[in-house]
Amino acid sequence: MKSNIGLTTRRSLIGMALPAGLFGAKDRIVETTAWSGLFANRAEARPKFKSPEDPARARSFGSFAQLTGAILVRVRTDSGLTGYGLGGGGGAAVYLIEKHLSAVIDGAYPGPPEQVWDLMFNASSFYGRRGLPVMAISGIDLALWDIAGKAGGKPVSALLSAAPRKRCPAYYTGFKIDWALEQGFTGFKLPVSDVPITAPGAMKQIETRVAEAREKIGPRALLMIDALCNWNVPFTLEMARRLAPYKLRWIEEPLMPDDYDGYAKLCREVRGTSISSGEHEYTQYGYRELVGRKAVQVLQPDISWSGGLTALKRIAEECAPGKLPLAPHRGGSKYGLQFVAATPSCILAESFGYGESGGPLMEAMTPKLEKGELLVPDKPGFGVEFDDSILAKLPKY
């Protein structure tokens, strides 16, 4: 039975059936705590710009960049279950959790997680639906799925699939290609957003970088590029033509996320490579728009930004069931990997933690790498645990 605001009942799940009795009949959420500054060495000082028209102003993400703005959420129940989740949004998301979302779920059942997601999304919808509130919800949602796995004594992937993969193909993102080759990676994604499209010879610079990478990795390895929303439609069309000889698997986020018409044009006109997007899209509702407009060819939701596991599961089931491939952004974290392992339409897991400095917290979230494949943790939940003494040193905001 559903209420008039679309909440699922306690024992029902959309497209999912957790084992009966997974949670105790009297189990309640009793604590929700969040921290920012997980990777303190990545904290960015307030930048100083060269001029009033410095183009760097438009690319200054401050404390809300992907890793700089990462948050950790801990949820506890009165039966002693503890779950940990990775979210985004920095101190602002922590504030939302402390001042609103924790009050919404305090005293509620810890599961099914999709029911709690609906509670939080509905409660925050008048100021949320995208951005910071969804990043905060992502962290809580992952902590609840962690609890679900621990309650059932299974890894999260086994809650989602009867036969999840035990290892997943992965690709490396970054400039350390020689190192990545040594680790056995057979897929590589080059960032190209550091080359402004207004720079003299920008197209030639990018083409040279791609050509050098293809020469290093050989003709059979997968090669992708990430423009990080820096290009426009004409620039992308011309770059796709120039880069055709290098056989790119995809061009990632060439345009700003809301330019659905521009993405649709690229998907219609670019040949020889796919257009990927979705890292900066939110929930199944945003993906319905993206997919419905035929404005994407490879889906890249981020489990710690786009709405958590509940949102990614709904994206896979409702927005493109079996029709489009998924390659989740940062899917190689222990959080994203459980989803990748259980979802047949997921083709690749993006590297997380490898070649990066992030300290013990990042190490705890990074799965083992073996011959270019990521090994899916088999411990209950997501397979992540954190020392309370380390968490006590983290800032709130």
Catalytic residue among 167, 189, 313, 329: 329
Partners of 168 in the beta sheet? Answer: 374
Residue 378 has pLDDT above 90, yes or no: yes
With pLDDT > 90 as the criterion, what percentage of the chain qualifies? 81
Residue 1 has pLDDT above 70, yes or no: no
Residue 78 has pLDDT above 90, yes or no: yes
The tokens for 85 are 């989740």
Report the pLDDT value the prediction gives residue 19, as an integer from 0 to 100: 55
The tokens for 96 are 């939302």
Superfamily of domain 159-379: Enolase-like C-terminal domain (3.20.20.120)
| Whether residue 329 lies in the annotated active site | yes
> Top-level CATH class of 29-154?
alpha beta
Work out the average pLDDT over 86-93: 96
Distance of CA 153 to the CA centre of its chain: 25
Q: Length of the chain in residues, anyone? A: 397
Per-residue model confidence as pLDDT tens digits over 242-278: 999 999 999 999 999 999 999 999 999 999 999 999 9
Q: Reduce the DSSP state of residue 99 to 3 states and report it.
A: helix
With 0-12 / 13-18 / 19 or more C-beta atoms within 10 angstroms meaning exposed / middle / buried, residue 129 is middle
Per-residue model confidence as pLDDT tens digits over 314-327: 999 999 888 899 99
Side-chain half-sphere CA neighbours of 276 within 13 A: 25
Check whether the bond before 112 is cis (ω within 30° of 0).
Answer: yes
Residue 4 has pLDDT above 80, yes or no: no
Band (63; pLDDT cuts 50, 70, 90): confident
Report the pLDDT value the prediction gives residue 12, as an integer from 0 to 100: 32
The tokens for 391 are 């968490």
Measure the CA–CA gap between 97 and 140, rounded to whole angstroms.
9
Least confident stretch, 4-13, 129-138, 177-186: 4-13
Residue 346 has pLDDT above 80, yes or no: yes
Report the pLDDT value the prediction gives residue 3, as an integer from 0 to 100: 34
Least confident stretch, 80-89, 108-117, 187-196, 354-363: 354-363
Do 60 and 47 touch, CB atoms closer than 8 A?
A: yes
Per-residue model confidence as pLDDT tens digits over 100-138: 999 999 999 999 999 999 999 999 999 999 999 999 999
Distances (CA, A) of 342 to 157, 162, 165, 309, 313: 5, 8, 6, 11, 10
Measure the CA–CA gap between 104 and 125, rounded to whole angstroms.
13
Work out the average pLDDT over 272-293: 97
With 0-12 / 13-18 / 19 or more C-beta atoms within 10 angstroms meaning exposed / middle / buried, residue 268 is exposed
Q: Report the C-alpha dihedral over residues 90, 94, 96, 99, rounded to 10 degrees.
A: -150
Work out the average pLDDT over 170-186: 96
Residue 161 has pLDDT above 70, yes or no: yes
Least confident stretch, 22-36, 108-122, 297-311, 360-374: 22-36
Measure the CA–CA gap between 193 and 187, rounded to whole angstroms.
19
Band (195; pLDDT cuts 50, 70, 90): very high
Do 254 and 192 touch, CB atoms closer than 8 A?
A: no
Minimal CA–CA distance to 172: which of 363, 369, 340, 362? 369
* For the chain, domain boundaries: 29-154, 159-379
Residue 358 has pLDDT above 90, yes or no: no
Phi then psi for residue 309, to 5 deg, are -65, -35
Work out the average pLDDT over 289-296: 97
Residue 24 has pLDDT above 70, yes or no: no
Phi then psi for residue 76, to 5 deg, are -125, 150
Work out the average pLDDT over 46-53: 89
Report the pLDDT value the prediction gives residue 320, as an integer from 0 to 100: 84
Quote the pTM value: 0.93
Partners of 224 in the beta sheet? Answer: 189, 250
Kindly give, in sequence order, each residue whose CB lies less than 8 Å from that of residue 293, ignoring residues fewer than 6 positions away.
260, 261, 263, 264
Work out the average pLDDT over 332-354: 96
Mean pLDDT of all residues in the chain?
Answer: 92
**Where is pLDDT greater, at 41 or 271?**
271
C-alpha angle 242-244-247 in degrees, rounded to nearest 5: 140
Measure the CA–CA gap between 271 and 127, rounded to whole angstroms.
40
Q: Which residue has the tokens 């997007």?
A: 277
